[in-house]
């Protein structure tokens, strides 16, 4: 039996717009188990980004229960949420958000600095990741020297 990574029950997210309430998410139920991949699809304005922000602990639901590794996320303080975002949840953005003054290797290493990984280990891991995606020969290239796909 696979380990449950996250569980959402009856998640609702509403925003107050003056006197009007805009309900973006209405009763979302979601369970993700270890090793599972999923895609969140829908038309523009359907709440995909809102749901991802809640999953990523960047926002909170209006109601419902969100459990991460068995613990209720609503019980976490800001310090615990920051640790979760730093150590347990990875973000991949549609835009590249690469720093133009850093080369490819340095850009891959950057999140590991915030994770407190020692320099030699960061470099080893970053080189390994670049090798995995076929960019080891471009590790010293800056973002403007890489194609969109390489970025």
φ, ψ dihedrals at 66, nearest 5°: -120, 120
Tokens of 122: 């960061």
* Residue 94, domain member (yes or no): no
Instruction: Identify the pLDDT of residue 31.
Output: 96
Largest CA distance in the chain: 57
* Residue 115, domain member (yes or no): yes
CATH code: domain of residue 59:
3.40.50.300
Instruction: Identify the pLDDT of residue 95.
Output: 66
Q: Are 82 and 29 members of one domain?
A: yes
Q: Which of 30, 24, 31 is nearest to 1 (CA)?
A: 31
Q: Are 76 and 138 members of one domain?
A: no
Q: Are 50 and 110 members of one domain?
A: no
Q: Are 12 and 58 members of one domain?
A: yes
* Residue 93, domain member (yes or no): no
CA distances from 74 to 59, 63, 65 (A): 10, 10, 8
* Residue 118, domain member (yes or no): yes
Instruction: Identify the pLDDT of residue 72.
Output: 94
Question: pLDDT for 7-43, tens place per residue?
Answer: 999 999 999 888 999 999 999 999 999 989 888 888 8
Instruction: Identify the pLDDT of residue 93.
Output: 66
φ, ψ dihedrals at 103, nearest 5°: -80, 180
CA 127 centroid distance within chain: 22
Q: Are 52 and 8 members of one domain?
A: yes
For 127, the domain range is 104-145
Report the alpha-carbon distance of residue 66 to residue 76 in Å, rounded: 11
Give me the residues paired with residue 11 across strands.
28
Question: pLDDT for 61-118, tens place per residue?
Answer: 999 999 999 999 999 999 999 888 888 887 766 667 889 999 999 999 998 998 889 9
Instruction: Identify the pLDDT of residue 87.
Output: 82
């Amino acid at each position: 039996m696979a380990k449950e990574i996250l569980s959402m029950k009856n998640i609702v997210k509403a925003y107050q717009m003056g006197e009007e309430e805009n309900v973006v998410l209405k009763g979302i139920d979601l369970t993700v188990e270890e090793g599972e991949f999923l895609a969140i699809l829908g038309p523009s304005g359907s709440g995909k980004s809102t749901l991802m922000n809640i999953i990523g602990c960047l926002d909170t639901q209006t109601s419902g229960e969100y459990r991460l590794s068995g613990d209720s996320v609503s019980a976490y303080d800001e310090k615990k949420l920051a640790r979760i975002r730093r150590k347990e949840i990875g973000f991949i953005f549609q835009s590249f958000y690469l720093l133009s003054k850093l080369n490819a290797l340095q850009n891959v290493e950057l999140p590991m600095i915030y994770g407190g990984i020692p320099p030699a280990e960061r470099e080893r891991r970053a080189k390994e990741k670049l090798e995995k995606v076929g960019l080891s020969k471009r590790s010293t290239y800056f973002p403007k020297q890489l194609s969109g796909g390489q970025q």
